[in-house]
A and B are shown apart, each in its own frame.
Chain A
Amino acid sequence: MAKYVSFSSRRRRPAWIIARKVTTYLFLSLGVVVAVFPFFWMISTSLMSLGEAQGTRLWPSEIHLENYVNAWKEANFSLYLWNSVRITFLTLAGELTFSILAAYAFARIKFPGRDFIFTVMLSTMMIPAMVTIIPNFLTVTWLGRIGPLKWINNWPALTIPFMGSVFSIFLLRQFFAQIPDELYDAAQIDGAGHLRFLWQVVLPLSKAPIMVIVILSFIGTWNALAWPMLVTNSPDWRPIAVGLVSFIDEAGQMLNLMMAGAVIAILPILALYFFAQKQFTESIARSGLKG
């Protein structure tokens, strides 16, 4: 039966094709609804009164925007957000400088030992962060004791360990390697060295991977919990995740305030994600695992 219908002309869409299309879209939408539900629930609860938040309502009867004001004040979010921004910015500045230089060397310059160093570097990706957390902590305290720089409770402990990212180097290398050699030859004839070529030709062509690194670095800083808890003991440099955790402990059962706090904590990341969403998923897909 179905076979006959599918042979009929395209203009007159048979009912079963339409039905199938509708079910497909229903399924697709269902997936989306499930995926964003936690997120939806977080926002709607953050707008409820405490009584409603502790009930089973899905949407507030009245919008309580003041939850955000209260959460902001009580959790000292202005300090924590500012800390997270500072940490991200410093990490990113170091990470981009180091990984761009290293990736360029791996991608564009032939030198003895290159492939060996690259392989060793890639294999350090298999060392879980868990294996290095204790010695890193000892290293950081030790560096703070012997050097002039204060590490614990200060920016170096929170940023410097994350400036060398294997993934960033790998990602950038894949992009740099695709740039045609002719461009470099032409630049060399014009008297440009590696640094000038990197700055004036390679970087302008690599906005997509750099954007990915920016977002991933943002997410990394916003995600980190164990390490910042370890190397800070006062709010001076504590990032938003640690701030949120101490707020949770204080807020007790104030579910609506907690959710408002969570929304505040994720808002910067969401803004960035929506802004660069397409570039982000495309680049992850293109370079996530393969080159």
Chain B
Amino acid sequence: MNSLARSRRLQPYLFLTPYLMGALLLVVLPAGVSFVIAFTRYSGMGRPVFVGWQNFQWVKSDLLFWVALINSLLYILQAVPLRILGALGLALLYSRPGRATGLYRAAIYLPTVIPDTAYALVWTWILNPFYGPLNPALRTLGLPAPSWLSDSAWALPAIVLASLFQIGEGFVILLAGLRHIPRETYDAARVDGANRWQTFTAITLPLLGPWLVLLSVRDVVLSFQSTFTPAYIMTRGGPYYATHFTPLHIYETAFDGMHFGEAAAVMLMVFIVTIILVVILYNLVEGWGFDED
């Protein structure tokens, strides 16, 4: 009896062991190792040599690192607000129940499930100034038709543009957020004579606040790594490093140049920048209905 009770008590730990071992070995430990490697010189062979702050000094004076960081920040500055606004706009548009809304929603979500590689490939050709369908359409509308991926001024906005279609997750989550707002709140506002814009700014926006903040934070964190596939396939970082983003920079430093120490230092710096961005974001929207959590 006693042994049975003891085995019951051990059971939760047994249930957790496989996951915890994996997480320890492949997430927590590697994160720690990253931190240590950043202070060493290591090429994958032999033993890492401790070099103190040398890697950080090297990274600091590496022009390409700054290019990559600024590109990533530019990408985030454009993509995240537009993606959140897009998801919000779509959620508002498609929130009303009606005929075929399910179909509409499935269609909006569709680009999000398309694998990044195939998606980047399709956009490479949509944006192609000679064969792609985008520029003829722009010309018909009388708009300027730049050569997108081969123009260093337009390559980054082009990747932002492609990313704007994969906003299914934000869309679906905000739809759920809208459904959480009680009908009566809107009715009360209408009785008080609020117009549409007033209801939106006084009710919808504040009540969606926490969802919007969480989505933005997530998007910032993910945007630092999600640029790898589009940049790798669409431009390989070019032209003239216009789309040389941090993940590509880390990948090339570590695995093409075999400079693991320097790459780890870059990772740490990017990680710190991410944290700073997230903190700024939280402070910007402070008081935006975070009292619930």
* Residue positions of A touching B, CB distance < 8 A: 27-28, 31-32, 34-36, 38-39, 41-42, 45, 53-56, 58, 97-99, 101-102, 104-106, 109, 111, 114, 117, 121, 124, 126-139, 141, 160-161, 163-164, 166, 169, 193-194, 215, 219, 222-223, 225-226, 230, 240-241, 244-245, 248, 255, 258-259, 262-263, 265-266, 269-270, 273-274, 277-278, 281, 284-286, 288-290
B155 sits at the interface (CB 8 A) = no
Residue from B18, B27, B117, B215 within 8 A of A289 (CB atoms): B215
* A266 partner residues in chain B, CB cutoff 8 A: 114-115, 118
Closest A residue, CB atoms, query B133 = A41
CA distance A98 to B26 in the complex (A): 14
* Cross-interface CB contact of B12 among A28, A32, A99, A114, cutoff 8 Å: A114
Q: Is the CB of A41 within 8 A of B122?
A: yes
A193 to B15 alpha-carbon distance, docked (Å): 13
Segment at the A interface, from B74-82, B189-197, B246-254, B282-290? B246-254
Which of A42, A101, A161, A270 meets B15, CB within 8 Å? Answer: A101
Known: A34-B165, A41-B126, A105-B16. 19 other contacts (CB 8 A): A31-B90, A35-B165, A39-B114, A105-B11, A128-B271, A132-B27, A134-B30, A134-B260, A135-B33, A138-B260, A160-B26, A219-B113, A226-B232, A226-B251, A244-B117, A245-B232, A248-B233, A262-B118, A278-B102
Instruction: Give complex CA distance A240, B118 in Å.
Output: 10
Known: A109-B11, A124-B23, A130-B224. A28 touches B94 (CB 8 A): yes
B interface, size bucket = 35 or more
A289 in contact with B102 (CB, 8 Å): no
Please indicate the chain A residues that have their CB under 8 angstroms from the CB of B25 in the complex.
139
How far, in whole Å, are A39 and B224 apart by their CA atoms in the complex?
A: 26
Contact A42 B37 (CB under 8 A): no
B102, B113, B229: the one within 8 Å of A270 (CB)? B113
Of A58, A132, A281, the residue contacting B105 (CB under 8 A) is A281
Interchain CB contact under 8 A, B225 and A194: no
Name the A residues within 8 Å of B30 (CB-CB).
Answer: 131-132, 134-136, 139
Instruction: Chain B residues near A111: list those with CB within 8 A.
Output: 9, 12-13
Determine the residue in chain B with the shortest Cβ distance to A245.
Answer: B117
Instruction: Verify B270–A130 contact, CB threshold 8 A.
Output: yes
Q: Which residues of B contact A124 (CB under 8 A)?
A: 23, 27-28, 31
Q: Beyond A130-B267, A248-B233, is A226–B274 a contact (Cβ under 8 Å)? A: no
Question: Within residues 189 to 236 of chain B, which ones have a CB less than 8 A from any CB in chain A?
Answer: 211, 214-215, 218, 221-222, 224-225, 228-229, 232-233
Bound Cα distance from A233 to B50, whole angstroms: 31
> Given A130-B247, A134-B37, A270-B113, are A288 and B274 also a contact pair (CB < 8 Å)?
no
Decide: B93 and A31 in contact? CB cutoff 8 A: yes
How many Å lie between the Cα of A139 and that of B22 in the bound state?
A: 12
B22 & A27 in contact (Cβ 8 Å cutoff): no
B159 interface residue per 8 A CB criterion: no
Interface of A is mostly: helix
Asked whether B19 lies within 8 Å of A39 as measured between CB atoms, the reply is no
A160 CA / B21 CA spacing, docked (Å):
12
Docked Cα-Cα span, A54 to B34, in Å, equals 46
Q: Is the CB of B16 within 8 A of A101?
A: yes
- A109-B12, A132-B31, A135-B29 in contact; A32/B108 too (CB < 8 A)? yes
* Contact in complex: A288, B115 (CB < 8 Å): no
Nearest B residue (CB) for A132: B30
Most buried by B among A131, A141, A226, A269: A131
Q: What are the residues of chain A within 8 A of B131 when measuring CB–CB?
A: 53-56, 255
Evaluate contact between A102 and B19: CB separation under 8 angstroms.
yes
| A45 contacts B113, C-beta separation under 8 Å | no
Residue of B nearest to A286 (CB): B176
Contacts of B123 in A (CB 8 A): 38
Chain B residue nearest to A45 in the complex (CB): B125
Q: Quick check: which of B55-63, B144-152, B167-175 contacts chain A, the rest being far away?
A: B167-175
* Cα-based distance from A22 to B25 in the complex (angstroms): 57
A249 to chain B, nearest CB (A): 10
Q: How long is the Cα–Cα vector from A117 to B264 in the complex, in angstroms?
A: 27
Q: Is the CB of B118 within 8 A of A132?
A: no
CB pair B22 A39 closer than 8 Å:
no
Give Cα A51 to B220, complex, Å: 42
Q: With A54-B131, A194-B11, A289-B211 in contact, is A38–B165 under 8 Å at CB?
A: yes
CB neighbours (8 Å) of B110 from chain A are 35-36, 39, 273
| A281/B109 contact (C-beta < 8 A), A58-B133, A124-B23 known | yes
Query: Nearest-CB distance from A240 to chain B (Å)?
Result: 8
Which among B26, B133, B263 is the interface contact of A136 at CB below 8 angstroms? B26
Q: CA of A241 to CA of B136 in the docked complex: distance in angstroms?
A: 30
Given B27, B111, B133, which contacts A56 in the complex, CB threshold below 8 Å?
B133
